[in-house]
Amino acid sequence: MSYQFITSAKLPTRHGEFDIHIFENDDGQEHVMLTVGLSVVDQNINVATAPHLNDVASNQSDDTLAERPIPLIRIHSECLTGDAFSSLKCDCGPQLNTAMQAIQETGCGAILYLRQEGRGIGLTNKIRAYALQDQGHDTLDANLLLGLPADARIYDMCGPMLAHVGIDAVRLITNNPDKVAYLTEHGIDVIERVPLLVGVNDMNAEYLATKRDRMGHLLDKDFNTAIHLNK
């Protein structure tokens, strides 16, 4: 599937000003990238797979690349309930806001906001999974009971997005080793994994423990020290 850059503009937020870039795939699905301190190197990306980012980055001068710090990147899949409605069932909203603030403070980075709600199963199935969680099933088993994968997300749009601003090396804000592995396998050097433990509360502690114990997320063994971070 190919991804094409559509348009961009300035986006003032409570964290500071970002450049917002819109990309669209062959099915008309839109994805968003917010950037700070990054210059566009290719306005006409339309690729079936991510190009080798070293080739794209070569469009910039060596001096520009040498002066630019390694950008701080967050790959964030859409979570309407957490990002917009401040749900306490997950940590998505606090993760997004913390990453936006960190990127503003760093002065060089991007949020790759991917439109794959509910770990890729869609909003309706996500709420169906919530109903099963209300009955006592964990986040992984709820998906499986619906006949759905535990995690259906894909990251093939990340390469074109990063190529748009000439990025071939990142400091990645994530607890998910799958994201590190995907970028590394597709020619993007993950210089550092930056952990992100925020928004822990009584309503989502078991959810996070399931991601740690059953889905391989790299979270601290003890959430007690983090439980009041976002209150």
pLDDT digits (tens, 9 = 90+) for 16-58: 999 999 999 888 889 999 999 999 986 655 544 444 444 444 4
Annotated catalytic residues are 151, 153
166 is in an annotated binding site: no
pTM, entire model: 0.85
DSSP code string of 13-43: ETTEEEEEEEEEETT--EEEEEEES---S-T
Higher pLDDT, 124 or 222: 124
Lowest mean pLDDT among 35-44, 49-58, 105-114, 184-193: 49-58
| Fold of the domain spanning 3-116+153-214 | Rossmann fold (3.40.50)
Residue pair 77/174 in contact by the 8 Å Cβ criterion: no
76 is in an annotated binding site: yes
Block residue for tokens 């008309």? 28
119 is in an annotated binding site: yes
Query: Residue 211: which of 198, 220, 224 has the closest Cα?
Result: 220
185 is in an annotated binding site: no
